[in-house]
Amino acid sequence: MAAFDINHAGGLAPAVPREGAGASPCSACSIRNLTICAPLNDIEQTQMAAIVTNIEQPPGTPLFDEGEPADHVFNVTAGTIKVYKLLPDGRRQVTGFLFAGDFLGLANQDTYAYSAEAVTACHLCRFPRRKLEDLMTRFPKVEQRLLNIASNELAVAQEQMLLLGRKTAREKIASFLLLLAKRAQQRGQKDDSVSVPMSRTDIGDYLGLTTETVSRTFTQLKKANLIRLLPNSQVELSQRAELEDIAGGF
């Protein structure tokens, strides 16, 4: 999906032994420089690869549920994941969508604080939590990277609180589309048209709206010629500047 980004293509890479069967695919990983593995050299990378399992997650399948023992952490390598929390009566708040390069499963309790489910077909790297923790004490760089990731997520969460608490439906949808565009751009995808793989319900649960309001607002933006709804869940951001104006500085 994303373009390959071999970020150590110089001639100095040491000869890393490739194990037979499940040989470390990490050195060819296209999103390596986006994620937790970024600060590691090839040798360290191999140690990381030794504790990792590659898993595939069909669309709509749960990765884990809130309250389960948090035995693993994950790194998304392809696809879209949603994470959410539920109220006792079933109301749902999607707290984030995760894409290739994103890390997930951070928890300082021994149980997950939220549920995670594949939106599209996903590929992930799965790390046993315990082993990653061991590895972190050996490679403080990884811990630093994780703190960095956490700080980032915190800033994103605060931005989302601003959206949820203070923005109108129109502003929320505009912000959402721009966020998707920004994330796609980070992964090296074109940003004139955005892929919106999640359902209206998921979007509503992310933005604190109902499906109907999401739908109506899309229609409204479409009629104002700010966006175009294309086939294959693609949305063209025809008037990016105008959208940014509506979104309120995001």
3-class secondary-structure state, position 15: coil
Nearer to its own copies, 30 or 206 (CB): 206
Footprint on this chain of DNA (rule: CB under 7 A): 168-170, 199-201, 208-216, 218-219, 229, 231-232
* Min CB(181)–DNA separation in Å: 18
In this structure, are residues 100 and 77 in contact, taking their beta carbons and an 8 Å threshold? yes
Residue 51 makes CB contacts below 8 A (sequence gap 6+) with: 127, 128, 131, 132, 135
In the bound complex, what is the minimum distance in angstroms from residue 218's beta carbon to DNA?
Answer: 5
The nearest distance, CB 155 to its own copies, in angstroms, is 4
Q: Which does 219 bind (CB under 5 to 8 A by kind): DNA, its own copies, none?
A: DNA
Cα 156 from Cα 159, distance rounded (Å):
5
Contact 36, 143 (CB under 8 A): no
* 172/224 Cα distance (integer angstroms): 16
| Of residues 157 and 230, the one with the C-beta less far from its own copies | 157
150 binds, among its own copies, DNA, none (CB under 5 to 8 A by kind): its own copies
Q: Where are the alpha helices (DSSP H) in the chain?
A: 42-50, 129-138, 140-166, 169-186, 200-207, 211-223, 240-247
Residue 210 binding result from its own copies, DNA, none, given CB thresholds of 5 to 8 Å by partner type: DNA
Residue 240 binding result from its own copies, DNA, none, given CB thresholds of 5 to 8 Å by partner type = none
Task: Choose between 10 and 249: whose C-beta lies nearer to DNA.
Answer: 249
DSSP letters, 74-143, are EEEEES-EEEEEE-TTS-EEEEEEE-TT-EE---SSSB-SSEEEESS-EEEEEEEHHHHHHHHHH-HHHH
Nearer to its own copies, 154 or 224 (CB): 154
Q: Which residues bind its own copies (CB under 8 A)?
A: 85, 87-89, 91-93, 95, 106-109, 113-114, 137, 140, 143-144, 146-148, 150-155, 157-162, 164-167, 205-208, 248-249
> Of its own copies, DNA, none, which one sits near residue 140, judging by CB under 5 to 8 A according to partner kind?
its own copies
Residue 211 binding target from DNA, its own copies, none, CB below 5 to 8 Å by type:
DNA
Q: How far is the CB of 204 from DNA (least distance, A)?
A: 7
Give just the sign of the alpha carbon dihedral 87, 91, 95, 100: positive
**Is 74 or 193 the residue whose CB approaches its own copies more closely?**
74
How many Cβ atoms from other residues are within 10 Å of residue 54's Cβ?
12
- The answer to whether residues 197 and 120 touch, using CB atoms and an 8 Å cutoff, is yes
